[in-house]
Structure 1
Amino acid sequence: MKFKMQDKQNQLIERISDKHLVVGVDIAQKTHVARAVNFRGIVIGEPLTFENNEEGFDSLFQWINRLKISKGYSTEIVGMEPTGHYWLNLSKWLYDQGVDVVTVNPHLVKRNKENRDNTQSKSDKKDALVIADMVKNGYYSFIRPTSEAFEELRVLMSNRDVIVKRLVSSANQINRWVDVVFPEFREVFKDVKGKGAITTLRLFPTPKELRSLDVKDIVNGWKSLMKRQPGLKKAQLLIKLSKNSVGTTQAYDAYKLHLKMLLDEFDLATIQLETVEKEVSEVLKNITFSDKLLGIKGLTEVTLGGILGETGDLSKFAHGNSLLRHAGLHLVEASSGKWKGQIVISKRGRSRLRRYLFLATLSLVANNPEFKALHSYNVEVKKMKKMKSIMKLIGKLARLLVGVARRNESYCPEKVYPLIPAA
């Protein structure tokens, strides 16, 4: 099936009829502003300012109903910018009331600000009117209501991103601490984040402490916290290096306290990461087609959880290309006359989804025989650059994910192999 974006755009425009009251809402933290227009863009009624609470939401609902009755409209559609997280409660409340809720791209709102009055002015009332204009012109996207499992994945994967940042930050600071206090430590433990290195830093971190110990003390310390120890040679090397260390000799107590806090943060982030990933694995079991997707060799639970957390139910997508647009991975170009600009990806979509699709494709190229063969064919036969081949394979992965989810069928390697012409 060929997917044409223009067909979808026409459907969005045609969906707005002369029976529609089109409402635009400018979202803020405490106070929202609503404006209304008809399908031709003629302003209807006065602006409404309402609070971000149930009483304010109810006032918006009553305002919409009054305008519908007074002007003879039979239905309504409400558009808003997905500004941070402030829009979520309003959109869910309106959806529960049976109101059609759509979102508009903030980039397009900014570009359309001068259409009404040909000025650079900006205000909440004007922004609400611009959003209403964009909705009646078909520049909107439907909000896909998600089930409990997909909502849990979105929250868990968002939380995981925060934990990973903390884990990386603490690991980087531990590396810096080692470089300042005991730089020779890396000659014994190449990876400072390894279990042996972390245990050593926890028990006797500074050269001053190591110089006062013998090999037996170090080995016994390791045995108290580790089942498998680094060994006598590393213990001897630690003591030897500590005697000639060029690390700082000042503020030892402050440095030790700093390291203790860093190790506590590292341990906490590690435990939290394991907990979140275990929960992701449990949630995936509640999604009917997840086992089919995990049957694709190279696709992990973490990357699948990240993708489904951003997309919701993949079976609701009409085509893999619509998934690419959702991620901002569709191609755009700028051309005029004889001049033709470079074709690039738009990046007008969900950045986290782009990241997980990219990481999933890298994993497939490394571990999946079919994708590995496709990548090799693109690079060696078609002479593509490696990154261009990866971006092309992201499109194939998107179509594969949507196809498996829509049909709820198992992964079929034969459908993925490239049709390489015979020599």
Structure 2
Amino acid sequence: MGNSSGLSRGDRNRNARLARLRALVPVDNAIVGIDLADRKQMVVVTDHDSKVLARKTFRCRAWDLGAALDWAGQRAVTAGFTGVTVACEPTGHRWRVLGQLAADRSMAFVCVQPSMTSWSRRAEDLTCDKTDEKDAVLIARLTAQLRCYVPEPVDETWGRLRHLGARREQLLVEMVSQIQQLRALLECVWPAALDTARQPFRSRTWVATLSVICDRDGGDLSRTRRLGMTRLEQAVRREITRRGGQKPSLRIARNVFNALDDQAGVVAHRRGALERVQLLLGDWIENQRRLTDTEDRMTAVLNELRLTDLVTSITGLSAVGAAAILAQTGDPTRFTTARALVKHAGLAPREKLSGTFTGRTKLTGQGRPSLRLAAWRAVWGAQRANPVYAARYRHLTSRDDNKLSPTQAQAAIAAAILRHLHAVITTGRRWDPHTATHGTQPTDTPIPVAA
């Protein structure tokens, strides 16, 4: 079908987005801009020209703002409006409470990005003043200009997945920090222990041996030496079995035993540092257990949403990796296009074109950093196991014109994973390598539909 209107796809998508926003911010609604804080809430009621109709400070918590909304609604009706649209910045948790209070009163609710408020504050009067009164008016003004967005709808199951994703991210950060501390301590007092395995913190035997040395002998390496290799192996076997393993790598256990006589490092701090290593190992192992439990809960939520078969149809993407991404995106069907989801992650290219000038294209880097990180982590497994992604990586890093660096190519694959996730979930069809490669569906091979 031809494009007789001359509108581009971006024009049509933008027009549709503005139409959705206009339905929430109609001209016969007054706008209630609220600058949220802990115990002080600034509320202003304005028209669509940013003319302030009423202003009031409420000394209350966010969950007590129902009276403020009722007051704003009365002021709007007095000024001749039929209703109100409530707007605020989505900072912290208070905006969710405000959204619920607005929904209870059948009031439209939108959010304004804090970055938009910051830029508008600079353009307001060139003073960059930041006060609650000015911010509330700026929020209302940006809403009148439709420089706002519709927040994610409240859903119990998707909300649970988001909270579990935040929990998983917190545990990963803590575990990485604990590994860095363990490495720093051992490099200081017993560096030879780190050379006993190629990847010590990924070796179950190495961790078990270090735990035995620290738990049984309190970091006294001479006592462990007197224990003998045979008895140390038996203790390591018991520790491996207790943690659900089968058998240790005796080579690594013997390497650790041979490193007991190494005097490199600050020997005077060795016992105290190894005691700290013992405590850190306990915390790290406990966090591993918590991480496993959290990931099991996330995959259970994915099963509850009936998305496991769809998302794991993308070769190389695990259920945990997909759940981590979806915990950051929420329901992908709220994004009208796959490109909107990529923009939300900050993985969309930013063009620089003016006349005959063509600048360097970079990623926007805007959007949700945690979503960008989750997609980036998914690249490593998918790139190795998925032939489509592997071929794309080779093409992007070896083509003659505009060759990308490995990091740039991996960012492009991360964006492709997001687009494919959006496609399989919104269409309800499993991932197809031919469609992923060519963008068209072969006529002789039907796409299997998820049950």
- Whether 1:200 and 2:206 are equivalent positions in the alignment is no
| Structure 2: unaligned runs, 5 residues or longer | 1-7, 241-245, 440-451
1:404 corresponds in structure 2 to 424
State the one-letter code of the partner of 1:45.
A
CA shift for structure 1 position 164: 0.9
Q: More displaced, 410-419 or 385-394?
A: 385-394
Q: Are residues 370 and 24 of structure 1, via their aligned partners in 2, closer, same or farther at CA, if it must alter by over 3 Å?
A: same
Deviates more, 1:408-417 or 1:390-399: 390-399
For 1:306, the aligned partner's letter is A
The aligned counterpart of 2:36 is 27
One-letter code aligned to 2:225: R
Q: Point out the more displaced range, 210-219 or 234-243.
A: 234-243
Secondary structure at the aligned position of 2:58 is classed as strand
| Residue number in structure 2 paired with 1:416 | 436
Aligned mates of 1:234, 1:17 — CA distance in 2 = 70
Aligned-partner Cα distance in 1 for 2:269–2:409: 53
Q: Would the alpha carbon gap of residues 216 and 365 (structure 1) be closer, same or farther in structure 2, given more than 3 Å must change? A: closer
Q: CA deviation at 1:353?
A: 1.1
Q: Decide whether the 8 Å contact of 1:3 with 1:319 is kept in 2.
A: no
Q: 2-side partners of 1:91 and 1:12: how far apart?
A: 18
Q: What number of residue pairs does the alignment pair up? A: 418
1:43-87 CA-to-partner distances (Å, cap 9, x unmatched) read 111234342244x31212211221122012112211111112332
1:31 deviates by: 2.0
Pick aligned residue for 2:199 from 188, 191, 196: 191
Distance 2:134 2:333 in 1: 37
Q: Residue 157 of structure 2 corresponds to which residue in structure 1?
A: 149
5 Å-filtered alignment, 1:113-192, equals: 113-192=121-200
Q: Secondary structure at the match of 1:285?
A: helix
Matched, 1:220 2:234: yes
Extract unaligned runs of 5+ from structure 1: none
Contact map agreement 1:329 1:347 (CA 8 A) in 2 = yes
Aligned-residue offset at 1:332: 3.1
Q: CA deviation at 1:187?
A: 3.7
Change (3 A) 1:251 1:8: same
The correspondence of residues 57-68 of structure 1 with structure 2, limited to 5 A, is 57-68=65-76
Q: What is the TM-score normalised by the length of structure 1?
A: 0.90
Aligned pair 1:371/2:380, yes or no? no
The CA deviation at 1:270 is: 0.8
How many angstroms does 1:272 deviate by?
0.5
1:184 deviation in Å? 1.8
Q: Distance in 2 between matches of 1:371 and 1:229?
A: 36
1:282 equivalent to 2:291? Answer no
The answer (yes or no) to whether the contact 1:81–1:106 under 8 Å persists in 2 is yes
SS of corresponding position for 2:268: coil
Q: What are the within-5 Å matches in structure 2 for residues 43-62 of structure 1? A: 43-54=52-63, 56-62=64-70
Distance in 2 of aligned mates of 1:337 and 1:370 = 36
The alpha-carbon distance between structure 1 residues 105 and 176, as it changes in their structure 2 partners (threshold 3 A), is same
Does 2:315 correspond to 1:300?
no
Change over 3 Å in CA distance of 1:392–1:241 after alignment to 2: closer
- C-alpha contact (below 8 Å) 2:21/2:149 kept by paired residues: no
The 3 A distance-change label for structure 1 pair 137 and 379 is same
Cα contact 1:146–1:312 (8 A) shared by 2: no
Q: What's the CA shift for 1:126?
A: 0.4
Q: Which residue in the other structure is 2:410 paired with?
A: 390
1:264-303 deviation digits (Å, cap 9, x = unpaired): 1111111101110111111100113342122111112222
Any idea what the Cα deviations from partners look like across 1:378-417, whole Å, max 9, x if unmatched?
3334643144443444444333222222221222222112
Deviations 1:128-178 (A, max 9, x none): 000100000011010121422211111111111111111111122222222
Q: Which residue of 1 aligns with 2:84?
A: 76
- Sort the Cα spacing of 1:349 and 1:220 in 2 relative to 1 into closer, same or farther, 3 A: same
CA 1:333–1:248: 2 relative to 1, 3 Å? same
Q: CA deviation at 1:9?
A: 5.5
2:248 alignment partner in structure 1:
229
CA positional deviation for 1:244: 4.0
**By how many angstroms is 1:110 displaced?**
0.7
Q: Please state whether the residue corresponding to 2:91 is helix, strand or coil.
A: coil
Whole-Å separation in 2 of the counterparts to 1:239 and 1:398: 47
Compared CA separation, residues 187 and 359, structure 1 to 2 (3 A): closer
Deviations 1:192-230 (A, max 9, x none): 322212222222244322332222221222233234133
Check conservation: 2:189, 2:269, Cα contact below 8 A: no
Q: Is the 8 A contact 1:371 1:416 kept in 2?
A: no
Q: Provide Cα deviations, 1:334-377, integer angstroms capped at 9, x if missing partner.
A: 56666554333222211111122233344332211222223333
Amino acid at match of 1:265: D
Q: Distance in 2 between matches of 1:278 and 1:30?
A: 39
1:185 shift after superposition: 1.9
- The 2-side partners of 1:281 and 1:116 are apart by 48
TM-score normalised to structure 2 length:
0.84
SS of 1:92's partner is helix
- 1:160–1:276 Cα contact (<8 Å) kept: yes
Residues of 1 paired with 2:394 and 2:257: CA distance?
A: 50
Which residue pairs with 2:109 in the alignment?
101
The residue identity in structure 2 corresponding to 1:398 is L
CA contact (8 A) 2:178 2:284 kept: yes
> 1:114–1:303: structure 2 CA closer, same or farther, 3 Å change rule?
same
Q: Name the SS for the 2:304 alignment partner.
A: coil
Q: 1:300 to 1:29 in 2, by over 3 A?
A: farther
Within 1, Cα distance between the matches of 2:376 and 2:281?
32
Cα distance in 2 for residues equivalent to 1:65 and 1:103: 18
TM-aligned CA deviation for residue 118 of structure 1? 4.7
Q: Report SS of the residue matched to 1:417.
A: helix
